[in-house]
Amino acid sequence: MGRLGFGVDIGGSGIKGAVVDLDTGALATERFKVLTPQPSTPPAVASAVAEVARNFAWQGAIGCTFPAVVRAGEARSAANVDRSWIGTNIEKVVGAATGSAVIAVNDADAAGVAEATWGAAKGQRGLVVVVTLGTGIGTALIYDGVLVPNSELGHLELEGVDYETKASAAARERDGLSWEKWAKRLQRYFSALEFYLSPELFVVGGGVSRRADKFLPLLKLEAHIVPASFQNEAGIIGAAYLAARPELDRESAGIDITSGRSPLVTP
C-alpha cells in the first residue's frame, strides 16, 4: 500500500468517509457513512464529520467535499444544506471539530479532480465537463487536466426553471420518471451545456451513474459522454487527494518532509 489520504463527502442526506490510496485513487478501506443531521447546521455537520474521522482513527489532513460554492474554505451558497452555512468557513468549523487540518472543496469539483487524475477524464486534452447527478446537479470544468472551480452549471435556467429541479436524479425519483422520460430532460440539459461550452468529453457521476447503461445510450451529443470511473466515490477520492497535495508536491520536489530540506542539496 502506498501513500494514504482521507476524504469525507458531505451530502444533503449522508456524510461518507474513507481512506484513499493516493497512488491509484482506489479506496483503501470500506466507506463509513452517517446520516446528515437535520437541520444540517454547521455545528451538527461538523460533529458528524468528526464521528466519521474517529471511526478510522485518522490523524492527518482531511479533504472535505461540500455541496455548494466553496471559496477560500468558505461556503458561499447552500442549495441542499442549511442556509446558515452561507459565509461559514467550512475548514475552520470542521477543523475545530476534528482537530485536523481540513481542505474544503465543492463536491463536483472534487469528483472532477478524481476523474481527471485517475478516472474517465485522465489524459483528456481540452475541455471536460463532469456532471454529477444526485440530490442536485453538480458540475466541474476541467481544461487540459486543470480544474476551473465552482462552475455551478447544475442551476442552468431552462424552460424558465432552475433545471436541477427537473433533471437531477432526485427529480427522476420524485416524479416517478421512466429512464426514457428522464433521458428527455437530460437531453435538454446536456444539449444546452454542449451549445454553451463545446466540450470534448462529458463524464457523468453520482450514484445513478451505476445505471448509466439505462440512460447514457439514449442521449445524442457531439461530445463523447461516459460514466464516471469512480461513480459516487469520486468526491471522497478527489477531496483526499487535494488535502494531501501540498505534501505530495513537496515530496515530488525532492524535499524531505521530515526535515524540510531537499536531499539533493548538500548543506
CB nearer to ligand BGC: pick between 70 and 97: 70
Residue nearest ligand BGC by beta-carbon distance: 136
CB nearer to ligand BGC: pick between 28 and 193: 193
CB nearer to ligand BGC: pick between 79 and 102: 79
The three grid cell numbers given for residue 196, joined into one nine-digit string: 454553451
Nearest approach, Cβ of 20 to ligand BGC (angstroms)?
Answer: 20
Nearest approach, Cβ of 168 to ligand BGC (angstroms)?
Answer: 8
CB nearer to ligand BGC: pick between 25 and 235: 235
Nearest approach, Cβ of 143 to ligand BGC (angstroms)?
Answer: 18
CB nearer to ligand BGC: pick between 28 and 52: 52
CB nearer to ligand BGC: pick between 17 and 154: 154
The three grid cell numbers given for residue 205, joined into one nine-digit string: 457521476
Q: Which of 94, 81, 114, 67 is nearest to 235 (CA)?
A: 114
Sheet strands (E) in the chain: 4-10, 14-21, 32-35, 62-66, 70-71, 74-75, 102-106, 127-133, 137-143, 146-148, 157-158, 161-162, 201-205, 224-227
Q: Which of 54, 28, 46 is nearest to 91 (CA)?
A: 46
Task: Beginning with the edge strand found earlier in the chain, give each strand of the sheet holding 102-106 in spatial order.
Answer: 32-35, 14-21, 4-10, 62-66, 102-106
Nearest approach, Cβ of 55 to ligand BGC (angstroms)?
Answer: 23
C-alpha–C-alpha distance, residues 97 and 45, integer Å: 10
Residues in the site for ligand BGC, rule: CB under 6 A?
67-69, 77, 79-80, 106-108, 132, 134, 136, 138, 152, 154, 164
Nearest approach, Cβ of 173 to ligand BGC (angstroms)?
Answer: 15
Nearest approach, Cβ of 81 to ligand BGC (angstroms)?
Answer: 9
Q: Which of 204, 258, 267, 262 is nearest to 231 (CA)?
A: 204
* Residues in contact with 143: Cβ distance below 8 Å, sequence separation at least 6, in sequence order: 126, 127, 128
